């Protein structure tokens, strides 16, 4: 690595004692024990969604497997909302094992923060706007994941150029930037906006350690930003996916009934959260499967090769320093 002696030092690297302010983002049905270990061993931080390992006993075993293979920090994303029937056990096991970082999504993180702080565990919260960010800050969150538009999976709809500085100016918390960051250029931009680390998900799908199908990896390499479609037809929540024949079969536009009912925010929320509603409104012959519908962010257009997780991190940091030194 060209800048081996120089590493970006931020609030996040200091807080967790990691070399690089790069988080391998938690990805549903993508993040594995191997990916988490590789990312943490490479100097960043690996994370995974708790729901990748069910039931809760498998989740606990995944934590133990990671701890057996690395002594570096890692994180877990937990949905703290009633739709996740495993959440209480997931939180219990994560805190028993003193996982360094919990990342909460949906719902209120109040109880998670209270319990985590009793055992010295940090809690960062996914946020897509200032209102929710202010609420979790008031509850004692240790940091924020600024989920901007263009992120893979369930993304926000605010530009990172607006969201990150807004959160940094209004709230005295470290911010992790999420959304279309795949290299050192994205890292440099995120830091200039006030972020202290970057979330990279889609880039790590195109890694040797990612245990996804070759079809998925080829789709990542082939896609451009124009191929990313935002649709709620996959699982009821708006998300970013690669336009493929499989996605076309599911349909990328809302049905007539859903458009009519969705005019009411209250009913639209019910549709999004209710499994019964999703089953009613989605044609059973066109149900989506994450095995053939591929989540990705708009940064795919700048991904053109498969590398190891360590190589991706090294290249990202090298490019960051090169850009930093050449800025006017």
Q: What is the mean pLDDT of the chain?
A: 89
Count of Cβ atoms closer than 10 Å to residue 276 Cβ? 9
List beta partners, residue 199: 23, 178
At 119, list the tokens.
């055992």
Residue 245's pLDDT is 86
Task: Give the pLDDT score at 287.
Answer: 52
Positive/negative CA dihedral, 315, 320, 323, 324: negative
The answer to which of 31-35, 92-96, 282-286 has the lowest mean pLDDT is 282-286
Q: How far apart are the first and last CA of the chain?
A: 24
The set of residues, in sequence order, having a beta carbon less than 8 Å from that of 93 and lying 6+ positions away, is 56, 59, 60, 63
Phi and psi of 120, rounded to 5°?
80, 20
Q: How confident is the model at residue 303 (pLDDT cuts 50, 70, 90)?
A: very high
Classify 323 in phi/psi space as left (phi over 0), alpha (psi -120 to 50) or beta. Answer: alpha
| Token pair in block for residue 249 | 């079969």
Per-residue pLDDT reduced to its tens digit, 1-13:
444 447 899 999 9
Alpha-carbon distances of 168 from 83, 103, 275, rounded to whole Å: 31, 18, 36
Residue limits of CATH 3.20.20.70 in the chain: 11-212+304-326
Over residues 109-123, the mean pLDDT reads 98
Give the Å distances, CA to CA, from 48 to 102, 125, 180, 272.
10, 14, 18, 23
Give the chain's length.
Answer: 328
pLDDT band, very low/low/confident/very high, at 288 (cuts 50, 70, 90): low
β-partners of residue 231 are: 239
**Strands 175-178 and 197-200, bridge-based pairing:** parallel
Distances in whole angstroms, Cα of residue 87 to Cα of each of 116, 124, 138: 14, 16, 22
Q: What is the pLDDT of residue 273?
A: 45
Which of 3.40.309.10, 3.20.20.70, 3.90.700.10, 3.90.78.10 would CATH assign to domain 11-212+304-326?
3.20.20.70
């Amino acid at each position: 690595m060209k800048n081996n002696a120089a590493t970006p030092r931020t609030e996040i690297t200091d807080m967790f004692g990691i070399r690089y302010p790069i988080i391998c983002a938690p990805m549903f049905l993508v993040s594995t024990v191997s990916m988490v270990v590789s990312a943490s061993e490479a100097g960043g931080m690996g994370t995974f969604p708790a729901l990748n390992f069910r039931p809760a006993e498998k989740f606990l075993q995944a934590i133990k497997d990671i701890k057996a293979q690395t002594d570096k920090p890692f994180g877990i994303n937990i949905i703290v909302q009633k739709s996740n029937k495993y959440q209480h056990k997931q939180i219990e096991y994560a805190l028993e094992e003193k996982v360094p970082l919990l990342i909460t999504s949906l719902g209120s993180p109040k109880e998670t923060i209270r319990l985590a702080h009793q055992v010295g565990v940090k809690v960062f919260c996914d946020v897509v706007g200032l209102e929710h960010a202010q609420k979790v800050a008031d509850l004692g969150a240790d940091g924020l994941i600024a989920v901007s538009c263009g992120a893979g999976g369930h993304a926000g709809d605010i530009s990172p150029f607006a969201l990150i500085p807004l959160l940094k100016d209004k709230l005295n918390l470290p911010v992790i930037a999420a959304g279309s960051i795949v290299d050192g250029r994205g890292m440099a931009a995120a830091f200039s906006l006030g972020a202290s680390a970057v979330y990279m998900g889609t880039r790590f799908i195109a890694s040797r350690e990612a245990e996804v199908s070759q079809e998925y990896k080829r789709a990542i390499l082939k896609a451009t930003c124009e191929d990313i479609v935002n649709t709620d037809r996959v699982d009821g929540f708006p998300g970013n996916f690669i336009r493929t024949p499989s996605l076309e079969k599911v349909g990328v536009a809302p049905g007539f009934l859903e458009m009519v009912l969705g005019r009411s925010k209250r009913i639209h929320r019910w549709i999004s959260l209710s499994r019964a509603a999703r089953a009613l409104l989605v044609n059973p012959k066109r149900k989506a499967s994450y095995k053939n519908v591929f989540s990705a962010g708009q940064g795919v257009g700048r991904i053109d090769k498969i590398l190891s997780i360590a190589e991706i991190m090294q290249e990202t940091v090298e490019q960051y320093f090169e850009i930093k030194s050449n800025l006017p």
